Amino acid sequence: MDCDRIDSILESYGYDHSAIISIMQDVQGIENYIPEEALRYISEKMELNLARIFDIATFYKAFSLEPRGRHTIKLCCGTACHLGGAAQNLDQLKRTLRIEEGGTTEDRLFSLETVNCLGTCALAPVVVVEEDYYDSVKPGSLGKILSTYSSDSED
C-alpha cells in the first residue's frame, strides 16, 4: 500500500467526506483493487466511519477488494448483447478459463467480469479485453481472442 499516494489523493479532495466515492475510485486506480489496509487507512485519515466505507466498497460493483488479473475481460450482458448470445459466450469463457464471473484465473492472467452495457449495442455481442473491443463475438471466436493475450504473458 502506497500511503504517500493515498495521502495526496486525500489532499486533492480536501478530505471531503462527500468525495469518498471519487477518492476510492482514485485509490483503486493505483493497484486496480483496494486492499483492506487502504480502506482502513482512508477511514482513519478522513475520520470517516469504516462501516460506511465498507458499505460503499461492497455496494458499488466497480470496487474490488481482491487483486485482479493482468487482463480484465469485460463481457457485456446488456439487452442487445444478451439477445445476440452473450450468455453462451459467458458459458464458453467460464468453461475455458475455469472461473466464475468476478473470478480471476489461477495464473492471475485473466479476470472475468460482466457489465451491463458498454453503449456499443450496435456491435452486439461485445467483449472488451483491457481497452480492446471485440464486436459480434461468437463462442467459437473466443479462443482466438484469449490467445492474443495469453501469448504476450511470457515476456
Picked from ligand FES, other proteins, none, the partner binding residue 21 (CB below 5 to 8 A depending on kind) is other proteins
Q: Minimum distance between the CB of residue 144 and ligand FES, rounded to whole angstroms?
A: 20
d(CA 131, CA 94): 20
d(CA 145, CA 26): 30
Picked from ligand FES, other proteins, none, the partner binding residue 94 (CB below 5 to 8 A depending on kind) is none
Closest CB to other proteins among 11 and 155?
Answer: 11
Q: For residue 112, what is the enclosing H or E element?
A: strand 110-115
Residues in CB range of 120: below 8 A, 6 or more apart = 76, 126, 133, 135
* Interface contacts to other proteins, rule CB under 8 A: 16-22, 24-25, 36, 39, 49-56, 58-63, 77-83, 85, 88, 91-92, 95, 115-124, 126, 133, 135, 138-140
Closest CB to other proteins among 85 and 103?
Answer: 85
Closest CB to other proteins among 49 and 148?
Answer: 49
Residues in CB range of 13: below 8 A, 6 or more apart = 19, 22, 23
* Interface contacts to ligand FES, rule CB under 6 A: 76, 78-81, 117-121, 124, 126
Residue pair 128/134 in contact by the 8 Å Cβ criterion: yes
Closest CB to other proteins among 70 and 82?
Answer: 82
